[in-house]
Amino acid sequence: MLTLVCLFSCKEVRPKNTTTQEIQAPPPPAAVLGAPEIRVAVLRDAREVRIGCAHSSLTLSDGRGQEISKLPAGSELYVKLENNTLTVNGRVVPSTGLRAVADGRVTVNGAELARQLDVYLDATRPGTLTAVAYIGLEEYLVGVLAGEVPYDRWGAEALKAQAITSRSYALYQMKVHAGDPYDVESTVMSQVFKPGNHNNVVLNAAVNGTRGLVLTSGGKLFPAYFHSTCGGATARGPGVFPDSPAVATLNGRACPYCTQSPSYRWHAEIAREEIARKLRAFPDLAGKNIGTIQSLEFQGGSSAAPRADLVRIQHSGGTLTMNANRFRIAVGAGLLKSVMVERVAAKGDLLVFDGRGFGHGVGLCQYGSNGMAERGYTCEQILGFYYAGGELTKVYGDRLTASR
């Protein structure tokens, strides 16, 4: 049923082949067409979680698998963290984690999510709860498209390109985080996941129309980064993410397709003290004594693509040089929209920024992708443009049942 004609070499890779072995995904449940489940941290820094199941019963177990309670369909219970101890409906549970399993979907704070949900005391963030939902990858992608793009306005080919990109990104994260408590977060830290859209026709068409297709480079998965708007040129991966593998598919290139983005050009005015305060609180800079910000200089990039690799911060206590993208995240990725900054000027207590683009700039430019779709380019051509040299590889989804 897949009739994709690839711009770049199209390989059929069956399960058990190199790519799927590397992914090390959990065994696929029969209901999800051969796709693995992805573990999504749907809630972090919480002190209370409301769990239920609208259409079937739910079983709650402790960390040793001991059943704690069974909920009938349509009811809910409250998991709380009180004095660093878990309670369920006010009763203390001698465990640091809970597992809820339903025949239908477990609801978390009213949102229908997944067959299985884990809630645990997060040792990396003391005094908080993290909730991790196990979601079939294809269904997860429907929620990612809902969270990442204005699907009711964008072209079908751009939605398909986003589905393949997000599937590739997700599978790569599953490989990298196989030994961690979860694979991805449900925010911009990974890709935005918005539950409750599993019956949306437009979203399902984009996901089903690309089922099991991923981007590879030399036959291997790579982190298929994407961002909102490149501002005229995409970025080279390792320049932005020093830990990123130096794959040719993330080399960056000129992009003439995103000029319609509301963030193609942006202007921001940020108080010097706000920047200093955020830098002092940023974990990367723990122990640095940062005084009053005097000036900022974005370094690197070219006249055609003035996206900085580094930022040099002159402050009353000295000089500090840091990765420009990490600086953007420290200040606030929605405030300092990109590091393609064309001008920094002083205005009293403020620093004034004029820049282009929104996001880190690596890989697919979402507004550019839609710009290409509106000009009649196909999904394969869009991906071939932003991930030049890559391939499309099918890793599952040949059959509509898991019997293979």
Give min distance, CB of 255 to Zn ion, in A.
Answer: 3
Give min distance, CB of 226 to Zn ion, in A.
Answer: 11
Examine residue 362 and tell whether it contacts Zn ion (CB under 5 A).
no
* Of 28-36, 99-107, 219-227, 228-236: span binding Zn ion (CB under 5 A): 228-236
Is the CB of 38 or the CB of 365 nearer to Zn ion?
365
Is the CB of 184 or the CB of 255 nearer to Zn ion?
255
Task: Name which position in 171, 365, 372, 392 contacts Zn ion (CB under 5 A).
Answer: 365
Which residues are bridge partners to 270 per DSSP? 351
- Rounded distance, CA 24 to CA 256, Å? 38
Give min distance, CB of 361 to Zn ion, in A.
Answer: 9
> Dihedral of the CA atoms 112, 39, 156, 369 (nearest 10)?
130
Task: Name which position in 368, 384, 390, 397 contacts Zn ion (CB under 5 A).
Answer: 368
Task: Name which position in 129, 146, 158, 255 contacts Zn ion (CB under 5 A).
Answer: 255
Give min distance, CB of 372 to Zn ion, in A.
Answer: 9
Q: Can you give the C-alpha Rg of the chain in angstroms?
A: 23
Residue 261 identity: S
Examine residue 240 and tell whether it contacts Zn ion (CB under 5 A).
no
The answer to whether 190 and 184 have CB atoms below 8 angstroms apart is: yes
- Rounded distance, CA 364 to CA 137, Å? 20
- Rounded distance, CA 329 to CA 284, Å? 11
Contacts of 123 (CB under 8 A, 6+ apart): none
Please count the residues of this chain forming the interface with Zn ion, following the rule CB under 5 A: 5
C-alpha triplet 136, 388, 187: angle, nearest 5°: 35
Is the CB of 195 or the CB of 363 nearer to Zn ion?
363
Query: Where do the H-state alpha helices sit in 88-130?
Result: none
The answer to whether 380 and 392 have CB atoms below 8 angstroms apart is: yes
What mask, x for binding Zn ion by CB under 5 A, covers residues 257 to 276? -x------------------
Give min distance, CB of 338 to Zn ion, in A.
Answer: 11
Q: Which residues bind Zn ion (CB under 5 A)?
A: 230, 255, 258, 365, 368
